[in-house]
Chains A and B, each alone.
Chain A
Amino acid sequence: MKYETVIGLEVHVELATESKIFCSCSAHSFGADPNSHVCPACCGMPGMLPVVNRRVVDFGMKAGMMLNCDINRVTTFDKKSYYYPDLPGAYQTTQWFAPVAVNGRVDIETSAGKKSVRIKQIHMEEDAGKLVHDISEGTTHVDFNRTSVPLIEIVSQPDLSSAEEVEAYLVRLRTLLRYAKVAECEMAHGTMRCDVNLSVRPEGSDVLGVRTEMKNMNSIEAIKRAIEYETARHINAIENGTEVLVQETRRWDDAKGKSYAMRSKETAGDYRYFPDPNVMPVVIDDVWYETIKNSVPEFPEVKREKYIALGLTEYDAERISESIMLCECFEEASEACGNPKEVVNWITSDVMRILNAKQMTYEMLNLDNKAFGKLISLTLDGKISRANSKKILSAMFDDRAIEPEAYAEANNMLIGEQNDDLILGIVKKVVESDPKSVNDFKNGKEKALMALFGKCMKELKGNCDPQQLKVILLECING
């Protein structure tokens, strides 16, 4: 019999705010001492008063708009009760009755074709703390730095049917949320996490099979492996009766390539959701809604088409539109220098080379894009040599404040009229020091001129318009 896999995803994404969702502790504790970013509110002290971080709602709305959701104009927070040491209040503040965004859609494309994945809802909630097991035998240690770091949970409908589709969906989510600049979405950093709900049924059946939920996958590759393993396990159980499938939560062990049953899961009713009396309802008026709506960027496809219309190749347009940071770099630099094709060449060669050398992702690009455009103009106008422009660009990566023309001037890299005398002086010196090459050239050896030219350029440290140098050099030789 042929089977089909039915997959729905719950994706947790850490929002890129400075402070936590309900208190002003820093949301960034990477490398910090344990329990050093903690206050009464986020460690569950009795009587604490949570106050909503406005930017969390901004980002929640914006994420919803990126995923074609309807925004709930009245959105509220609820308590989800469960007892676990990583949750100091014994409840998580989340959204159950009126999540910020509902009924969305994410479009993906795979070898199986185009597909719309329906989004059930996006809710805003607080993260839990970090547990460290077995520092000494039989103990668990708790660090509350991560409690109340803002998250959104994106819940899809069970519309996915293969590992390939799941990958396309996750990549698309990541791209859209990065476009909106609401989240880093780096699975390796834990800023994007994914739970996979999976069941298997005979192809064409409209009855869902027994569903299992898998956790603990920290890369897209691991998720794909887990889906393939779990699908095979389900089919084997159905066909060969190797085990009885039960609804449960399973932990994926990527090193062993196996999933294991975890503690039996509490059901929704057991969480005893109820409105959090300490967190006031959020009412989104038209002004606020429109402000966020207007900040939603163009989608990658729109940008790609625009870039192709500007004369970029399909390949380059695709590469640039992959990241909002590259898009901004391209658009702002093009505006500054008026030459999009040249800008894209610089991005795909120099910018990408430097990013690579510095082991930076596209998202970490922090150039002053207008200054970058100016640098390209100066180079095209022959005021800075191509070799020196690379050096300046590299310096601009380290210091956003660098203004290319001033920097070139300060470092004697600016090619200008005032250098004519300097060039002539150097050319004379080189010509006098190498009479053999001069004679060779006069006797018809073109290569000898290149040798002289190279020596002059070296003395000038490249700060010279090659055409200008050639003219002066020929004048000097021919007297």
Chain B
Amino acid sequence: MISKDVVEKVAKLSRLHLEEEEIAQYADQLNQILDTMAGLQQIDTDGVAPLAHVLPIENVFREDEVGECFTQETVLANAPEQSNGMFQVPKIV
């Protein structure tokens, strides 16, 4: 059961600001999702290894070689604020 407290905690961990009515709305929606998932819980998965990937693909590698990067200008192109060649954000300490 997803309570109001759980929604608030998840929102905090995700750095999201939610209004009171949104919290209630999300709690309701998240509970519906959990109810749906509860059906899957009925399936016996004893002895079945958790599945990380649906495709049977493994060992996808690149060799340790240096390639092209973006230019600093491109990296920063979408930054809401930038200076000194860096992303600028509100002070976080």
| Chain A residues close to B by CB (< 8 Å) | 17-19, 23-26, 33-40, 43, 51-57, 76, 81-85, 97, 131-136, 138-144, 266, 270, 272, 275, 277, 280-283
| Residues 47-64 of B contacting A (Cβ, < 8 Å) | 50, 52-53, 57-64
**Which of B71, B84, B87 has most chain A Cβ within 10 Å?**
B87
| Interfacial chain A residues near B59, Cβ < 8 Å | 280-283
* Cβ-based interface call for B86 (8 A): yes
Taking A83-B14, A139-B91, A140-B92 as contacts, is the C-beta distance between A52 and B60 under 8 angstroms?
yes
| Interfacial chain B residues near A134, Cβ < 8 Å | 91
Rounded to whole angstroms, the CA-CA distance of A447 and B83 in the bound complex is: 75
Contact of B70 with A40 in the complex, beta carbons under 8 Å = yes
| Interfacial chain A residues near B75, Cβ < 8 Å | 35, 38, 43, 144
* Cβ-based interface call for B85 (8 A): yes
| 18 sampled A-B residue pairs with Cβ under 8 A | A34-B72, A34-B85, A35-B76, A36-B69, A36-B85, A39-B68, A51-B61, A53-B62, A54-B61, A56-B64, A85-B92, A132-B86, A141-B84, A142-B86, A142-B87, A270-B13, A277-B52, A282-B59
Contact of B72 with A36 in the complex, beta carbons under 8 Å = yes
Chain A binding surface SS class = loop
CB distance from A59 to the nearest CB of B (A): 9
* Cβ-based interface call for B38 (8 A): no
* Cβ-based interface call for B33 (8 A): no
**Which of A24, A57, A277 has most chain B Cβ within 10 Å?**
A24
Contact of B72 with A54 in the complex, beta carbons under 8 Å = no
Contact of B15 with A25 in the complex, beta carbons under 8 Å = no
Contact of B15 with A136 in the complex, beta carbons under 8 Å = no
Contact of A283 with B58 in the complex, beta carbons under 8 Å = yes
Q: Which of B58, B66, B67, B93 contacts A280 (CB 8 A)?
A: B58
* Cβ-based interface call for B21 (8 A): no
* Cβ-based interface call for B88 (8 A): yes
- Supply 9 further A-B pairs (C-beta < 8 A) apart from A36-B69, A76-B52: A18-B66, A19-B66, A19-B67, A26-B69, A35-B85, A39-B69, A135-B84, A139-B91, A143-B85
Rounded to whole angstroms, the CA-CA distance of A143 and B87 in the bound complex is: 7
| Interfacial chain A residues near B90, Cβ < 8 Å | 138-140
Contact of B70 with A275 in the complex, beta carbons under 8 Å = no
CB distance from B72 to the nearest CB of A (A): 5
CB distance from A162 to the nearest CB of B (A): 32
* Cβ-based interface call for B40 (8 A): no
| Chain B residues close to A by CB (< 8 Å) | 13-15, 50, 52-53, 57-72, 75-76, 83-93
CB distance from A138 to the nearest CB of B (A): 5
| Interfacial chain A residues near B83, Cβ < 8 Å | 135-136, 141
**Which of B50, B71, B72 has most chain A Cβ within 10 Å?**
B72
Which of chain A's residues has its CB closest to B73's CB?
Answer: A35
Taking A140-B89, A141-B83, A141-B86 as contacts, is the C-beta distance between A25 and B60 under 8 angstroms?
no
Taking A38-B75, A81-B13, A277-B53 as contacts, is the C-beta distance between A52 and B89 under 8 angstroms?
no
| Interfacial chain A residues near B52, Cβ < 8 Å | 76, 97, 275, 277, 281
Rounded to whole angstroms, the CA-CA distance of A140 and B60 in the bound complex is: 36
Taking A34-B72, A36-B72, A81-B13 as contacts, is the C-beta distance between A52 and B62 under 8 angstroms?
yes
Rounded to whole angstroms, the CA-CA distance of A83 and B86 in the bound complex is: 18
| Interfacial chain B residues near A82, Cβ < 8 Å | 13
Closest CB pairs A-B (n = 5): A24-B67, A275-B52, A55-B64, A141-B86, A54-B61
Contact of A39 with B70 in the complex, beta carbons under 8 Å = yes
**Which of B67, B69, B89 has most chain A Cβ within 10 Å?**
B69
Contact of B58 with A281 in the complex, beta carbons under 8 Å = yes
Which of chain B's residues has its CB closest to A275's CB?
Answer: B52
| Interfacial chain B residues near A143, Cβ < 8 Å | 85-86
Q: Which of A38, A133, A270, A275 contacts B69 (CB 8 A)?
A: A38
Contact of B63 with A54 in the complex, beta carbons under 8 Å = yes
Taking A35-B85, A38-B75 as contacts, is the C-beta distance between A275 and B53 under 8 angstroms?
yes
Contact of A18 with B64 in the complex, beta carbons under 8 Å = yes
| Interfacial chain A residues near B13, Cβ < 8 Å | 81-83, 266, 270, 272
Q: Which of A34, A54, A266 contacts B64 (CB 8 A)?
A: A54
Q: Which of A39, A81, A138, A144 contacts B91 (CB 8 A)?
A: A138
CB distance from B86 to the nearest CB of A (A): 4
Contact of B91 with A51 in the complex, beta carbons under 8 Å = no
| Interfacial chain B residues near A277, Cβ < 8 Å | 52-53
CB distance from B70 to the nearest CB of A (A): 6
| Interfacial chain A residues near B88, Cβ < 8 Å | 139-142
| Interfacial chain B residues near A84, Cβ < 8 Å | 92
Taking A24-B62, A53-B64, A81-B13 as contacts, is the C-beta distance between A33 and B85 under 8 angstroms?
yes
Contact of B62 with A37 in the complex, beta carbons under 8 Å = no
Contact of B69 with A25 in the complex, beta carbons under 8 Å = yes
| Interfacial chain B residues near A34, Cβ < 8 Å | 72, 84-86
